[in-house]
Chains A and B, each alone.
Chain A
Amino acid sequence: MAETLTFNSCGALVIGGSAGSLDVLLEIFPALSNDIDFPIILVVHRKANNESLLTDLLQARTVLNVREAEEKTPLLAKNVYIAPADYHLLIEEDKTFSLDYSEKVNYSRPSIDVTFQSAAEVFKYSLVCILLSGSNADGVNGLKVVNNLGGKVVIQNPKSAIMPYMPQQAFSNVKADAVLHATEMAEYINNLIKR
């Protein structure tokens, strides 16, 4: 079932977060290297209105290109894609995005589980997923799939999370490759750049 191939370089990074994760993203983004050579995908629970707020906040803090993920467009390196509010974000075999308006998962749409799992099936052992602060367990099942398919699982240290429930659930149920404080995240991500 699970592939036993192991991680060697990052094909894509997916970051999932809910309540309390914005502070972490605002900490990470200014410190991200210019040389990031993989796409970054963000799945953040939020209200359906105020579409561009998160994009604008993050774009102001990085040289990477931040935008909302659009359906049937390719995932490109050096780009940060934000899952649109009120849609699930899926990734196709040909590394393009698909959107899906099916039932909420864990009371959430976009659901972190859905994107983690979909990305894991495509990127397998070249995927890195980070789960941040949050107050429900969305993302935990997705991390299990990432783990099974050989990708890397990173969890925010629940002690450093504003809402520790989500990372704590992941910590208790999934084998993590790293458990990091918010302040350590950017360096970890920069170290994923191929050299």
Chain B
Amino acid sequence: MISDAIDNEQVEILLNDVLEAHGYDFLEYSHASIKRRITRLYAIDNFVSFAEFRYTIKSDKQYFKRFLEEITVNVTEMFRDPSFYKALRNDVLPVLGTYPFIRVWVAGCSTGEEAYSLAIVLKELNLLSKSLIYATDINPSVLEKAKKGMFPLNYLKQYSENYVNSGGIKDFSSYYTANYSLAKFDETLSSKMIFSTHNLVSDHSFNEFQLILCRNVLIYFDKELQHKVFNLFDNSIEKLGYIALGSKESLEFWAKSKEYKRVKTEKIWRKL
């Protein structure tokens, strides 16, 4: 057990190095979680000393790419929390459908499963052709995967169940073609997506949206950073637009929360 291979002080040192050498600021991430990710990486990559680990992260650009990919959590799912997607399908997207054009921001999209799920719902509501999904992440290598729209075939049974439970009306397999161990999703879905790096910590608002989807990203941030990100979203959302968060996230304690109204019992809020 390598529980105390990396202590709190060493975590601080590494995060300061990363900011200085690479420009990525993780200092306001939830400490317990980032410490666990760092400790895990140290163990699986078989480093023998903190000094070696530190030096490699600081000076090896190739290794830093791996560091970035491993310390951010990239676990995601299609149609995760079916009741959430049901609310999008029934209560949110039909309202946005009355607009001439729909701009959506999927912030922290990771490998793209949520962006593709959203595109499928938009398609079934006949709204995809007038929609544009901006999918962003801090991490360029997950965006490369997201662009390809290929997901491991062995997850598709679960995704298909989620899809059905979320009110999906088609045969889920009509959206992809199986290719060895991967399911390649229909390119009409990705044709309405724009992928780009964006760092929620340091980058600014870049457009105005009617819907911002940011699920299971904020749990990795401390409270102050969460509130900064809510302000960023507030600056990026149109009046009467929607902000959607993960099932355990909330904008309840944020200073401007009174300017938003919750949609039913889901973690979706509408700007008033």
Contact = CB atoms under 8 A, between A and B. Distances in A.
Interface stretch (A95-103, A162-170, A176-184): A95-103
Contacts of B13: none
Contacts of B226: 72
Contacts of B73: 100-102
Interface string B116-156: 00000000000000000000000000000000000000000
Contact of B3 (A72, A84, A121): A121
B122 to A, nearest CB: 25
A70 B253 CA distance: 13
A1 interface: yes
B31 A92 contact: yes
A60 to B, nearest CB: 23
Interface string B1-25: 1011000100000000000000000
Given A98-B219, A102-B73, A102-B75, A93 B31 contact: yes
A87 interface: yes
Nearest to B37: A102
Interface string B205-222: 000000000001001101
A114 B36 CA distance: 9
B32 interface: yes
A110 to B, nearest CB: 12
B197 interface: no
B33 A70 contact: no
Contact of A120 (B3, B75, B216, B219): B3
Interface residues of A, number: 27
Contact of A101 (B31, B32, B216, B223): B216
Interface stretch (A14-22, A23-31, A33-41, A141-149): A141-149
B248 A87 contact: yes
A70 B30 CA distance: 14
A82 interface: no
Contact of B32 (A91, A141, A149): A91
Q: From DSSP, what is the main secondary structure of chain A's interface residues?
A: mixed
B205 to A, nearest CB: 24
A31 to B, nearest CB: 31
B249 interface: yes
Contact of A92 (B4, B32, B37, B246): B32
A108 interface: no
A140 to B, nearest CB: 10
A118 interface: yes
Interface string B30-50: 111100110000000000000
B4 A71 contact: no
A84 B32 contact: no
A90 interface: yes
Given A72-B222, A121-B3, A92 B30 contact: yes
B249 A100 contact: no
Contacts of A90: 30, 32-33, 36
A105 to B, nearest CB: 10
A175 B51 CA distance: 33
B33 A98 contact: yes
Given A90-B30, A91-B32, A102-B33, 11 more contacts: A71-B248, A71-B249, A72-B30, A90-B36, A92-B32, A93-B8, A99-B219, A120-B3, A121-B32, A122-B32, A144-B1
27 contacts: A1-B4, A71-B219, A71-B248, A72-B222, A72-B223, A72-B226, A84-B248, A98-B31, A98-B32, A100-B30, A100-B220, A101-B73, A101-B246, A102-B33, A102-B37, A103-B75, A118-B32, A118-B36, A121-B3, A121-B4, A121-B32, A122-B32, A141-B1, A144-B3, A145-B3, A148-B1, A148-B3
Interface of A: 1, 70-72, 84, 87, 90-93, 98-103, 114, 117-118, 120-122, 141, 144-145, 148-149
